[in-house]
Amino acid sequence: PALVDVRDVADAHVKAITAGKNGQRYICSSENVHLKDFCKYIRNLGYTKENGYTTPAMDGTGWFFSAAIRLASYTMGGVGTFTRLQLGNPVLFDTSKIKAELGIDFMPWEDTVKDTLNDLVSSGHLKAVSA
């Protein structure tokens, strides 16, 4: 998936209003992260089966996953058409414009995920990883 920190989005909105060119649009995306890398990172933070957490075991690649998604997409109407077109084709975003014109420097996705998990723990929506 393509990730962006909500704090970067807020910063981009303020900068677009105060310094952006009138009538322009900006793509706000930090980077694309493969599901297997995302899950591996979460597990490395301690959110593992041994600690009582479940992360996806399948990484969404391979012929079986592709075939299953392709078949399921025929039950989704217009979304299914989009899904079939995107299957196996990563969506890449060019953020050079927002970086050059607004000076946005996106947070690393790892920081976003870690901060999100910490916030979920502090608000009681997720139990803390046992040390």
Collapsing DSSP to helix, strand or coil, 1 comes out as coil
Residue 24 forms part of a structural domain: yes
Residue whose C-alpha is closest to residue 44's, from 55, 33, 32: 55
Note whether 20 and 75 are same-domain residues: no
Note whether 23 and 79 are same-domain residues: no
Note whether 41 and 68 are same-domain residues: no
∠ CA 110-113-119, rounded to 5°: 140
pTM score, two decimals?
0.76
Note whether 34 and 86 are same-domain residues: no
- Which residue did the predictor score with more confidence, 64 or 121? 121
Q: For 60, which DSSP code?
A: S
Domain that holds residue 30: 1-54+93-117
Note whether 97 and 83 are same-domain residues: no
Residue 123 forms part of a structural domain: no
Note whether 43 and 104 are same-domain residues: yes
On the CB side of 72, CA atoms within 13 Å amount to 8
Collapsing DSSP to helix, strand or coil, 11 comes out as helix
**Number of structural domains the chain divides into:** 2
Note whether 97 and 82 are same-domain residues: no
Query: What's the pLDDT tens digit per position in 12-61?
Result: 999 999 999 999 999 999 988 888 888 899 999 999 888 888 877 766 67
Note whether 101 and 43 are same-domain residues: yes
Residues 6+ apart with CB under 8 A from 98: 12, 26, 27, 28, 104
Query: What's the pLDDT tens digit per position in 63-114?
Result: 787 788 888 888 888 778 777 777 777 778 899 999 999 999 999 999 999 9
